[in-house]
Amino acid sequence: MSAPGSGTPSPVQGITDSSIGDFLERLSSKDPTPGGGGAAAIMGAMGAALVSMVCNVSYAKKGCEAAEPELREVCAQSEALRRRLTAMVADDVSAFDGLMAAYKLPKNTDEEKQRRSQAIQSSLKRCTEVPLACARDCAEVIRLSRRAGENGDLGVISDAGVGVSAAYAAARSAALNVYINASSLKDRAFAERALAELDGMMTFCAAESEAVYSLVRERL
Amino acid sequence: MSAPGSGTPSPVQGITDSSIGDFLERLSSKDPTPGGGGAAAIMGAMGAALVSMVCNVSYAKKGCEAAEPELREVCAQSEALRRRLTAMVADDVSAFDGLMAAYKLPKNTDEEKQRRSQAIQSSLKRCTEVPLACARDCAEVIRLSRRAGENGDLGVISDAGVGVSAAYAAARSAALNVYINASSLKDRAFAERALAELDGMMTFCAAESEAVYSLVRERL
């Protein structure tokens, strides 16, 4: 990814158009983006996609007729989450690039220093909100993975287990970015609200993802 | 993905050339591949890429000079794992397609039945070996993530936490595919060896990934 001010526009919007191989290559490089935040959003989107897959396969199977309305409702929600989490890959890059650009603002005069500090704080808020929204969506994917795991066809039930594992890894990963950025925020009321919401979500995600994984293993 | 015998060649080799958006779309569809196995390999490769990123960023930073030889060694290994896990995405699809093709073999005569059964058993072995190799590589990524997390620059330390979370989700996901396919194997000695190796790895992966995540959180 291009550093802010390098003259090359950051290809943020197109990041999910890059191939998986290229993304992995760029992820491994010393460039700051894409980084852990983008990887988290992709894992969340994979979790949502796998919940959708369980539903889409199960409709077609005999013995799943009774569960069809439930699975159709789950799939509509998981598809919305997949699209939102896919878009979040670019959101994460643009939030982080914004923060890097704020740190590079001039700080020669008092006025410049103040403007730079405000830009940093405003960017840090966005760098807290984006991963918090990612964690929130991943908690929803985990909720849906239980419904897919309970009602899905046995032939694809393992995919619900992969989906819940991906969504939990994504939530824990997004949480790390909330912790870092919230710690530098001067607006402590905002930071504390974000951290309190995150704590509640992470407690739920840890217990529920473990329960869904066990449920899937028992149905294998 | 095309079903075996549909006339369209399965684009297995090129699967990591597809865009992230397309892959997620295909993952959500009712087609059996790409499925959870491919998603597991990608998460493992993301984990390896993030370990590499921590190393690549840290070399350039002041204060990391003493850790440079250690980080260069870690990075050489994580890059090899990233490449291997990326290639495993296609391996998983081809192993699964092979199994589906075996199930579709004719079974009209005793000879056909025997040939079909042998083909299924041989495909099931491959469908056990591929995710077992994936879990093995993910355990290595988890090992490396500790070294990256202990020695990496604080500015990218969270990426070691995302890396270990991705690798653990990948290992647990691959494990589900080993459980399913090993359970249908007639060669019980082979199946029991695979399951015993997997059990040991999963015990290590659960404890070590939790320890590395905590280590990273403390260094944030």
Residues of B with CB below 8 A from A53's CB?
Answer: 27-30, 35
* Summary mean pLDDT of chain B: 93
Verify whether the Cβ–Cβ distance B166 to A169 is below 8 Å: yes
Give the integer Cα–Cα distance in Å for A122 and A118: 6
pLDDT of residue B62: 83
Nearest CA in chain A to B87: A21
Nearest CA in chain A to B17: A19
Verify whether the Cβ–Cβ distance A56 to B28 is below 8 Å: yes
* Torsion sign, CA atoms A21, A27, A31, A32: positive
What pLDDT digit, counting tens, does each position of A76-98 carry? 999 999 999 999 999 999 999 99
Residues of B with CB below 8 A from A213's CB?
Answer: 172
Q: What is the pTM of this model?
A: 0.94
Higher pLDDT pick, A13 / A82: A82
Considering only CB atoms, B16 lies closest to which of A20, A46, A50, namely A20
Verify whether the Cβ–Cβ distance A183 to B56 is below 8 Å: no
Considering only CB atoms, A18 lies closest to which of B20, B24, B50, namely B20
Verify whether the Cβ–Cβ distance A220 to B183 is below 8 Å: yes
Q: Measured between CA atoms, how close is B220 to chain A, in angstroms? A: 6
pLDDT greater than 70 at residue B187: yes
Verify whether the Cβ–Cβ distance B161 to A176 is below 8 Å: yes
Q: Measured between CA atoms, how close is A174 to chain B, in angstroms? A: 8
Give the integer Cα–Cα distance in Å for A87 and B208: 32
Residue A62: name the closest of A160, A154, A158 by CA.
A154
Nearest CA in chain A to B182: A220
Classify residue B13 by its DSSP letter: T
- For A35, A175, A180, B1, B126, the CA distances from A93, given in Å and listed in that order, are 8, 16, 16, 30, 38
What pLDDT digit, counting tens, does each position of A14-31 carry? 889 999 999 999 999 999
Verify whether the Cβ–Cβ distance A19 to B24 is below 8 Å: no
Q: Is B184 helix (H, G, I), strand (E, B) or coil?
A: coil
In this prediction, residues B47-67 reach a mean pLDDT of 92
Residues of B with CB below 8 A from A19's CB?
Answer: 16-20
pLDDT of residue B70: 95
Residues of A with CB below 8 A from B71's CB?
Answer: none
What pLDDT digit, counting tens, does each position of A38-68 carry? 999 999 999 999 999 999 999 878 888 899 9
Considering only CB atoms, B220 lies closest to which of A49, A166, A176, namely A176
Residue A142: name the closest of A218, A204, A87 by CA.
A204
